[in-house]
Amino acid sequence: MARQVAGAWFRASKNTWYATVNGKSVSLGIRGEEHEREATKAWHKLMSAEPVVKLEPKPVPEPTTLTVKALVSAFLMDAEMRLKASTVATYRHDLEEFAATFGKLEASNITHQAITKWLHGLKVNNTTKGIRIRSVSACFGWASKNDLIGINPVRKVSKPKSQSRAEQAIILDADHAKLMAVATTDFKLVLRVLHATGCRPGEVGKITADSFDAVNAVVKLVEHKSDKTGKPRLIFLPLDICELLKAQLARFAAGSLLRSKNGVAWTGRSITQAMMRLRRKTGIQSISYGYRHSFATTALSKGVPDAHVAALLGHSSTAMLHKHYSHLTAHAGVLRDALAKVKA
């Protein structure tokens, strides 16, 4: 029990001066019985000190209200640091369209029913709707992961089923000639490359002075749609296209070899927009990917092994080829040729 003494007192066993405060012994930090004066000063200092005030913990602030527009902006800023420019461009286009409808609303209040209604109201095909909803899901999924909202509402949205348009999108040689007749000088070069190589529209702008190997007639892309495989994308060039790119290399010593009239590299989106203008001028229902479909269809119809066609298109396996070009099995000529080889 603490000594009930007013003032400093000495504990011989500890060789230290103490004081009694609120019924408890408190060391004054002074050692030696001869230092009574210093102990008394320490006691006065202790007793004159202001009482310690116990602070109550501050309440945790409520999450700041986050609008859809603010969420989209935050997501795109983060995406720019993590993802490829082409991916960010797609997200930006799709999410700005989404924010045009929901921008002022609180992000945490957006329901899957509202998103479903918006999706069905888009005047685009199911394939494009699928791309749109994937962009929205990426944004809300990121927000949920970072505790900006609760559960990602897009998880409950039924995704539209995309259908392969390979057969319907084929561009016949006659149609290609009509498109070339009205295309601008710079876009004609794009159409020639698409028609001759079967490359993706988005790969056209990546054909640069550095990626073009004139000696081996090939374009080597390090960053591409399937770069997760760790392998470069090789676009093999026919002789006339190789000569075309050599001429462009002489024109542009660095950077993209295929550019619009404004000197800007073509992108998948700008090529799509240019194709839309050609459709209005010619009445031909063509899409930029139609050249890729035509390339694959022609090659398979002529008996080129599917593994070779897949490699030319930049696929890591023949799975995508079989998925999108299974309609070729309906071509009686191909089947008869195959049967003849088996029976030979």
Q: Taking the chain (344 residues) in consecutive chunks of 10 residues, what is each chunk's mean pLDDT? A: 70 80 76 84 69 49 73 92 86 94 93 94 87 94 92 91 62 92 95 94 92 94 65 92 96 93 90 92 89 88 85 83 62 56 62
Cβ-in-10-Å burial (0-12, 13-18, 19+) of 198 comes to: buried
CA gap 135, 311 in Å, rounded:
29
Q: In what order do the strands lie in the sheet with 24-31?
A: 9-11, 16-21, 24-31
Look at residue 330 in the predicted model and tell me its pLDDT: 47
Q: Which has the closest alpha carbon to 187: 204, 168, 169, 175?
A: 204
Look at residue 329 in the predicted model and tell me its pLDDT: 45
Look at residue 318 in the predicted model and tell me its pLDDT: 78
CB 229 within 8 A of CB 222: no
Domain 68-156 CATH (choose: 1.10.1740.10, 3.40.50.720, 1.10.150.130, 3.90.1150.10): 1.10.150.130
Strand partners of residue 20:
25
Strand partners of residue 234:
220
Look at residue 230 in the predicted model and tell me its pLDDT: 66
Look at residue 258 in the predicted model and tell me its pLDDT: 95
Look at residue 119 in the predicted model and tell me its pLDDT: 93
Residue 265 has phi, psi (to 5 degrees) of: -60, 140
CA gap 65, 38 in Å, rounded:
59
CA gap 200, 71 in Å, rounded:
32
CATH 1.10.443.10 at 173-338, yes or no: yes
- Token pair, residue 179, equals 């498109």
- Residue range(s) occupied by CATH 1.10.150.130 in the chain: 68-156
- Residue range(s) occupied by CATH 1.10.443.10 in the chain: 173-338
- Token pair, residue 83, equals 């993802």
Residue 124 has phi, psi (to 5 degrees) of: -135, 170
- Going by C-beta distance under 8 Å and a sequence separation of 6 or more, which residues neighbour residue 18? 3, 8, 9, 10, 11, 25, 26, 27, 28
Entry pTM = 0.59
